[in-house]
Structure 1
Amino acid sequence: MKRGFVVVLSALLLAACGGGGGGESGSGQSAEQGAAVTVDTRFGPVTIDEPPTRVVALGWSDAEAALALGVRPVGASDWLGFGGNGVGPWADGLYEEAPKLLGTTEVDYEAVAALQPDLILNTRSDNDEKKHETLSRIAPTIGAPKDVIPYGTTWKQQVELVAKALGKVPEGEKIIKDLDAKFAENKKFDGKSTVVGAFFDGKFGAYVSGDSRTDFMKAVGFTPRAEVEALASGTFYVDISAERLDLLNADLTVLFPIGGDASALKANPLVPASALVLDDEDLVNAFSSGSALGTAYALDKAVPLFARKLGL
């Protein structure tokens, strides 16, 4: 995988264990164009007085959420190290001009301010209050909803927050309706247990409820293994020690490497026989994106692999 992805995931896993071409970003507003809107977040209500025209997207997949709504951010964080426009291939062609790519876990406030944003999206982040306060001094900033763990904002919550902030609630409702229907069509695995894990820096770990990958599996019918869920303590990822690799066993275990070649993981004798090792980088990134666009792509590509592995 790309080096940027490795650096970001390294930081996130550690945390879990302890003038651009956006001039049209305000186009296509709802019927009440020009009316102020208020968005409720974990940091309190945020009021946006006018339809934004210069949007900066800092949170994990916030740029893809805006693009799905027809808005092109002038600046964005490239969480999965795509380069280029900073989004996955499922969002190809949605930018007319590349955004300024910004930092991820460490925010360059001067770079953000230089873009002169009138709205900052940070809906899926580490939920750091000081960071939010600093960003809010630059422009109205939409943080995560209440009561979510760091990086735990769901794709649906993200669409709702971003759509309201951009004055595109009807468009957001359509995205949610369409993706809900797509999940319903792919809900084929009721009664099957699952673990979603990663192999990073020579160690195994697993994602838990509240993370987009595990929530994806639940939405298509799987039940996360209870013993793994019990290890979580307000985090989206838990380490699995070498002595407890039995915890990776499930009806379907989905594994992928971070920063390494999948062939080594496939050859690892410690990997359960039930494991499906994902070796398609685009699919791994879509599965990890947590965006509506990436999730739709993952449904199309991953569900057939799950069914084939289970003999369904």
Structure 2
Amino acid sequence: MNRPIRRRTTVRTLLATAVCVGLVSACGGTDSGDASGSPKGGGGQYPLTLTNAWDKTVVEKKPLKVATTSDGDTSIALALGLVPVITPDVEDGGPVPEYKKRGMDKLGVGKLKKYDDSDGTDYEAIAAEDPDVILGMNSWSMDADYAKLAPIAPVITYTDKKHADVLPWEDRLKTAAKALGLSEKADEVIAANRKAVTDAAAAHPELKGKRYTYSVVHPEQLTYMSYADQDPGVLEKLGLVKDEKSKKYTAKKNRISLENLDELESDLLLMTYPFGDEGLLSASELESNKLFQSLDVVKRKNFTVIPSENTLASSMAYPDALSASWVVEELAPILAKAVAGK
């Protein structure tokens, strides 16, 4: 099984294959937390006590200054209409993804204040901003970070350590919104995303019922990503269905050998090369392979690449409150062209 390892959002943005981290929404339950006080509407009731996987955290009053510990948490803040006082520099000087730029533009923000996270979370930089709360709903390093962040400000994070991988973005957003007193706004964001999916599916009825296989080229293997119990995510919300061969694969058994490329055969084949030259093989190497070229799905031109350069592949695997609707907007036309053999 391949572990989900985030790189910075550059040309080689990675796509991961964790057990339940899915094609657009991860599997798992809700993470509403154990609260004393029931935030209602946009205002909330304070003080508010939230239970997390490490402790209980108390938010004394409606937070105004929010620090974030991951890009997904930055997206949560922006989606809820808040400009974080400090965020990790996930772009590392590179371009800001389109969906994030849209969120910033909507709030009239040209640039976010960032800390260098190349060596992990910068606790001193966060403390210097004196935040009211720290969002860590998407952080994979919270097990190491929590004890150092909690003395700075209340940390809003998940209730179970397993949720770092498996919690759907909607539940991450709801938990953060509860702490921020912005539950109504969170509901609006979720409703807008659902409408985007519904509208895209209605606009592309040709996708309904088409069998698909989705494969990712990792450094160590060619991965059968659309295994049977993989969360369906946006691909199936748009009408696609997994190929029958998906039943042969699981999160722990997902390797495809170059001698068995016919396992990729389906009505529609989707590929992603998130590691570029560091992948097991390049796009040109795979696509010039004679066995690959002999596949009916390739001959029919029902084969397409989900781009990673513009963060679509990684955003499809790791959706958040800002990227989810953008993924649908970008992905639906790509799928439609592939189904049409264009």
TM over 0.5: yes
The corresponding residue for 1:58 is 69
Residue by residue, what CA displacement relative to the aligned partner does 1:15-70 show, whole Å, maximum 9, x if unpaired?
99xxxxxxxxxxxx965467223445444653311222321212342111210111
Following TM superposition, by how much is the alpha carbon of 1:146 offset from its aligned partner in structure 2, in angstroms? Answer: 4.1
TM-score, scaled to structure 2: 0.69
2:187 maps to which of 162, 165, 173 = 173
Provide structure 2 residue ranges, at least 5 long, that are not aligned to the other structure.
Answer: 1-6, 21-39
| 8 A contact 1:125–1:151 mirrored in 2 | no
Name which of structure 1's ranges 107-116 and 156-165 shifts more when overlaid on structure 2.
107-116
AA in 2 matched with 1:250: S
2:213 is paired with a residue whose SS is strand
Following TM superposition, by how much is the alpha carbon of 1:124 offset from its aligned partner in structure 2, in angstroms? Answer: 2.0
Show the 5 A alignment for 1:1-312: 5=10, 9=14, 32=43, 35-43=46-54, 45-79=56-90, 83=94, 88-93=100-105, 94=107, 95=109, 97-103=111-117, 106-126=120-140, 128-146=142-160, 148=162, 150-187=164-201, 188=205, 189-201=207-219, 203-207=221-225, 215-225=233-243, 228=246, 230-233=249-252, 239-260=255-276, 264=284, 267-269=287-289, 273=298, 274-279=302-307, 281-282=309-310, 283-284=312-313, 286-311=315-340
Q: Distance in 2 between matches of 1:207 and 1:162?
A: 30
Following TM superposition, by how much is the alpha carbon of 1:75 offset from its aligned partner in structure 2, in angstroms? Answer: 1.8
Q: CA RMSD in A?
A: 4.1
Classify 1:151/1:84 alpha carbon distance in 2 versus 1 (closer, same or farther; 3 Å).
Answer: same
Q: Distance in 1 between matches of 2:50 and 2:18?
A: 31
Following TM superposition, by how much is the alpha carbon of 1:13 offset from its aligned partner in structure 2, in angstroms? Answer: 6.7
| 8 A contact 1:256–1:278 mirrored in 2 | yes
Classify 1:241/1:56 alpha carbon distance in 2 versus 1 (closer, same or farther; 3 Å).
Answer: farther
Q: Percent identity?
A: 22
Classify 1:224/1:166 alpha carbon distance in 2 versus 1 (closer, same or farther; 3 Å).
Answer: farther
Return the index of the structure with the highest Cα Rg.
2
Q: Distance in 1 between matches of 2:134 and 2:230?
A: 22
Residue by residue, what CA displacement relative to the aligned partner does 1:174-222 show, whole Å, maximum 9, x if unpaired?
111121122122334443333333224374235468x999522232233
AA in 2 matched with 1:54: K
Provide structure 1 residue ranges, at least 5 long, that are not aligned to the other structure.
Answer: 17-28
Residue by residue, what CA displacement relative to the aligned partner does 1:76-120 show, whole Å, maximum 9, x if unpaired?
234465746687333342335422134278323333333332211
Q: Distance in 2 between matches of 1:147 and 1:14?
A: 14
AA in 1 matched with 2:171: Q
- The total of aligned residue pairs comes to 295
Q: Distance in 1 between matches of 2:223 and 2:304?
A: 15
Name which of structure 1's ranges 269-278 and 287-296 shifts more when overlaid on structure 2.
269-278
AA in 2 matched with 1:90: R
Name which of structure 1's ranges 119-128 and 73-82 shifts more when overlaid on structure 2.
73-82
Classify 1:255/1:108 alpha carbon distance in 2 versus 1 (closer, same or farther; 3 Å).
Answer: same
AA in 1 matched with 2:211: S
| 8 A contact 1:119–1:140 mirrored in 2 | yes
AA in 2 matched with 1:89: K
Classify 1:8/1:258 alpha carbon distance in 2 versus 1 (closer, same or farther; 3 Å).
Answer: closer
